[in-house]
Structure 1
Amino acid sequence: MRHSPHVSVRGQKLPLFSRFWLMLFVPAIVAMAGTIFFPGGALAEAVTPGKPTSLNGTPGNQQVSLSWGAATNATGYLINETDLVSGQTTQLPTVVTGTSYSLTGLQVGRWYRFSITPVAETTQGPSSDPIEVRTKGFSGSYDNYYALGDSYTAGDGAPPYNGAKNCYRSTKSYPYLLASGAPTPILIACSGAVADNIDKTVQYSWLPGTQLGELQSYPRGKTLITLTIGGNDIGFSSELTNCITSFTSCKSRRDAISQRITNLEPRLVQVYKELRTAAPGADIIILGYPLLVADPTIADCHNPIVYTGLGAGEMQMIRDLAAQLNDTIAQAASQAGVSAATQEVEQAFAGHEACTADESQEWINEIAGLNDALHDSFHPNSAGYQALAGAVNSARNLLYQNSMVRK
């Protein structure tokens, strides 16, 4: 008699046709069990969480409170922290199950960068876009202070001058006059500088490079940076000279100068962001400019050339355009995530511009001498640089009190 082939199941022999039915139905039974007991399949891979959104921070004294939008499929979040002064990056060991967290024990008056990494069990998803937060306050003093920009930082208008030829750098300029906490500055600013001299072109062959390049050659640490730039980009000096010396009114130039100011904004944003990249842990303060000439309703110019050359309408135009430039500087600073001292400068010089009726209260030179001394014209004198220092100190105190959050 022929016997059917057998297979063993737990030591017993089963006919071959039984093995056939087992092979057919067991996988289906296993799949059904996985569906019932392990939704998504018993062997399904872990789902990768999405990206957290809308990360925000609230600075405090030695602390920062973070909040963010939930990521899809996330069961928790890891917090990444970078100290922007030391450059050290750490990831908090605690897995946060909510969408907010407060970090304490941070250093006073220091910049930190944060991002959020979502997790689903052991699988990590893409980190959120980072934010940078400065804790409130100020402790001790800065390790370094670098002053960049044009003549309004270099000290033109308040001789004697020293250092690089044609830069008109003076120890009477505002960087040397700041309140406690600011060390002796490294003065990189040079008279006549435009935005391109900050990051693209060397202004004079005897200078060590662009101002940004020179900045990058110095130590970082806890750093303060101040900057004035933009006045030469719109040709304020030549336009003012034209107003004073022309036999016809210069008011027809208003629209052209105004358009130059408008066009300058994206370039300023770029320069300010490059400063942030070069010194990510620095406090960066961008100064504005005085309105240059007094309110024409109360003005009285003392230099005869200025007295005869500037009419009331031209003086008002100069003030309006200077205010527009300051607004543009402030807007660019806000976009770039740096501090602006524009209103502070305007307020510090109010009633002390060129052509102030009381000449002893005039903190901006009218026409200062002839030939080589002409560069001093319409620049702050010693009292004016004291006023600029006061404006920087006000902006510093505001930053220390309110701090800042930037993308």
Structure 2
Amino acid sequence: MRRSRIVSCASAFLVAVAASAFTGPATAPAAPRATALDYVALGDSYSAGVGAGDYVTSDAACFRSSRAYPVLWAATHASSFSFTACNGARTTDVLAEQLGPLDARTDLVSISVGGSDSGYGRVMATCVLPGTSACLSAVTRARSYMDGVLPANLDRLYSAIRAKAPGAHVVVLGYPHFYQVRGTCQGGLHSEERSALNAAVDHLNGVIAGRATAHGFTFADVRTVFTGHEICSSSPWLRSVEWLNLTESYHPTASGQALGYLPLLTSAA
């Protein structure tokens, strides 16, 4: 009698299991976990977050900001995060000082670099002073460097990144136009100078994009995102020259990091 009751209960259980296979579970299954990502952020001042404020005091020389797009992205997507981007970094600096965290486990790398190599700090320092001819000459010298020296430096750096992180998805982020040429600014640079600076940014982005693509990396173009938010626009995401804080001049604000660069990295990654 006891054995038949056990068989009966077992039969009822099997019927219930079979029925559930056709009717589906009473509650929805738990959502799958997001993939854990090991993320490393390399590069220059645009990746470090210069201009966004709220700098990490232990990295005072690099001006790494808690409002920089790599920090914002890592907060919601990364399982581990290394932030080595630094103000003023050139390709040689990134190669020598920033690649330590990369290894075979690295899933994502972001980088912006090339502006400091091309001497954009010196160019802007020249252009904010009176004299269109001197500004245009400085732009010409920068473009010559972009064509003559920068491509090989980018190749060496990109090859090193790939060698240290062979499985990583690498996102190379470019630079925005500085100026809305016919914008709201009164005085300052002439429209010819603003146009020349924007054209040089276009040239720089073209060189960077070409080398990034050749190495199988993703190039993320920020110019469209920043359209309508350049210096001299009604809602700028870039700082103009700031005589009391020259380091932050011509860099994205916190809005530029959060509303410009961050969505672009999210889309590319």
TM-score range, shorter chain: 0.7 to 0.9
Q: 1:182, 1:224 within 8 Å by CA — same for their partners in 2?
A: no
SS of 1:285's partner is strand
Q: How does 1:35-74 map to 2 (within 5 A)?
A: none
Which residue of structure 2 aligns with residue 282 of structure 1? 168
Q: What one-letter code is carried by the residue in structure 2 that aligns with 1:316?
A: S
Distance in 2, Cα, partners of 1:222 & 1:189: 16
Asked if 1:223 is matched to 2:95, the reply is no
Q: Which of the numbers 40, 54, 57 marks the counterpart of 1:146?
A: 40
What TM-score, normalized by structure 1, do the two folds share?
A: 0.54
Offset at 1:220? Answer: 4.3
Instruction: Say whether residues 1:253 and 2:138 are aligned partners.
Output: yes
User: Aligned partners of 1:339 and 1:235: how far apart in 2?
Assistant: 24
Matched, 1:317 2:213: no
Q: For 2:193 and 2:110, how far apart are their aligned partners in 1?
A: 31
Equivalent positions of 1:170-249 (< 5 A) are 170-178=65-73, 180-183=76-79, 185-200=81-96, 210-212=97-99, 214-216=100-102, 220-249=104-133
How far off its partner does 1:367 sit? 2.1
Instruction: Give the conservation status (yes or no) of the 8 Å contact 2:37–2:80.
Output: no
Q: Hey, what does 1:168 align to over in structure 2? A: 63
Residue equivalent to 1:330:
209
Structure 1 gaps of 5+ residues are 1-138, 201-209, 302-306, 397-407
Is residue 378 from structure 1 mapped to residue 250 from structure 2 by the alignment? yes
Q: Which amino acid aligns with 1:291?
A: H
Alignment of 1:76-95 (within 5 A): none
Answer yes or no: is the 8 Å Cα contact 1:161–1:169 preserved in 2.
yes
Partner of 1:25 in structure 2? Answer: none
Q: Percent identity of the aligned residues?
A: 32
Change (3 A) 1:172 1:148: same
Distance 1:351 1:335 in 2: 31
- Tell me: CA distance 1:222–1:215, structure 2 relative to 1, closer, same or farther (3 Å): closer
Q: Higher relative contact order at CA 8 Å, sep ≥6: structure 1 or structure 2?
A: 2
Specify the code of the residue in structure 1 equivalent to 2:107.
Answer: T
The verdict on how the C-alpha distance between 1:293 and 1:271 changes in structure 2, with shifts beyond 3 A counting, is same
Letter in 1 for 2:251: H
SS at match of 1:185: strand
Query: Which has more strand, going by share of residues?
Result: 1
Partner of residue 269, structure 1: 155
Deviations 1:169-192 (A, max 9, x none): 111000122285334632100101
Number of matched pairs: 232
**1:322, distance to aligned residue in structure 2 (A):** 0.2
1:142–1:338 Cα change, 3 Å: farther
Distance in 1 between residues matched to 2:216 and 2:85, nearest whole Å: 22
The C-alpha deviation readout for 1:317-338, integer Å capped at 9, x for no partner, is 0100001111111100011121
Q: Which residue of 2 aligns with 1:348?
A: 225
> 2-side partners of 1:150 and 1:324: how far apart?
18
Q: Which has a greater percent of helix?
A: 2
Q: How far does the alpha carbon of each residue in 1:145-169 deviate from its partner, in whole angstroms, 9 at most, with x for none?
A: 1101110011100112113231001
Pair 1:157-2:51 in alignment: yes
How far residue 308 of structure 1 moved from its aligned partner, in angstroms, is: 3.3
Where do residues 3-22 of structure 1 align in structure 2 (5 Å cutoff)?
none
Q: Is the contact between residue 176 and residue 184 of structure 1 (CA under 8 Å) also seen in structure 2?
A: no
Q: 1:245 and 1:184, CA in 2 relative to 1: closer, same or farther beyond 3 A?
A: farther
Using the size of structure 2 for normalisation, the TM-score is 0.81
**One-letter amino acid of the structure 2 residue matched with residue 190 of structure 1:** C
The CA distance in 2 between the partners of 1:276 and 1:329, in whole Å, is: 16
The residue aligned with 2:13 is none
Larger Rg: 1
For 1:254 and 1:379, the matched residues in 2 are separated by 18
Q: Specify every segment of 5 or more residues in structure 2 that has no aligned partner in the other structure, as ranges.
A: 1-32
